[in-house]
Structure 1
Amino acid sequence: MAEKLRPAVVLYCAVCSLPAEYCEFGPDFEKCKPWLIKNAPELYPDLVKEEADRTAEQLGGLEILGGPAKIGGSTSELKVDEEVKTLPGGKVKKKEKPEVLVEKVVRNKRKCVTIVRGLDMFGIKLTDASKKFGKKFASGASVVKGPTEKEQIDVQGDFMYEIVDFITETWKNVPGSSVYFLEDGKKVSAV
């Protein structure tokens, strides 16, 4: 007689509601980590080891363990910095200095896109700023996610120098000393 098939039992994450083995691809993996360590340690052994190493570091037990903790084959060093903020789940976030970066990207040899990053650090709504850029320069301007998953404003056209003057005139809380050009991967002061 053939074996009777049974439905698969799937463990769903209580935080993001995805199957536990897919949490790492979800939007809230950092929030899911404590739940996964507690409820599904066999799926993420690296997380369990990382948490154990972090606990040992916090307790000062590195000397007891016989040296620095190994994570992914390399030694981890804990840097002490005044501008470090610890988020829930143990993630460390460095405080960023508020600055506006303006960059020109050439595509198809003729068309340019001016990219503005960092306006949101000064409390400026990016959607409102993109509308003002679009009206001022009579061009398309939109808020998009950049390569670092932070939102930025893309303005169609080469307005690299004009946009700096417009930013400092329109928003008085953005000092000119905080505006930089990105040229060949280097930050150059716009003032």
Structure 2
Amino acid sequence: MADSEQGDRPSEGRHVIYCGVCTLPPEYCEYGGTVKKCQEWLEANQPEMYAKIWSPEVLEAATAALSVDAQKRAARDAQKKAAKAEAAEAKQNEKLASSTITIKRIERNKKKFVTAVFGLEAFGLDLKKVAKDLGKKFATGSSVTKVPSGGEEIVVQGDVSEELEEFLLEKYKDIPGENIELVDDKKKKKAAAAAAT
């Protein structure tokens, strides 16, 4: 019976807007850690919705119903959240500034090389996607492997270390050029022969 009643009315879809910063609906941005950035994004991209949620009149109306003590607590809580968000953002920026990406050319056999890339996960990149992009770019095999130290690396067949650096800087704009380090790892034949005797 309920199905026939709903069948008479066409169903209406809803258009939901998601924040470009935290990916939550704007009504819930205050529960994320990037409230200030979310507000700036909303004001620039959805001014009508910004006026409904964050305009001074709406905020004043929401706090007017609270007692004086509750208003003070809400203000303190808002300051604490803002301070926490700023501290987390500063910590993340510091981490990114100190992170390095190492591109290492490793000799396998006589004139055969592979190129290994470490440290991409610090910049929030999906290593499997990057490995796939590198495989397509250089028309060679590339894979994500675990390293004994606990992280992951991308191994690309062939000596493509310099081209790989250019590709990373061109495709991923968040990576600063000074954070990329090129390393050449050659097998020491004499040292290996001396150790064998």
Task: Identify the TM-score tier after normalising by the shorter chain.
Answer: 0.3 to 0.5
- Name which structure has the greater RCO, CA cutoff 8 Å, separation 6+: 2
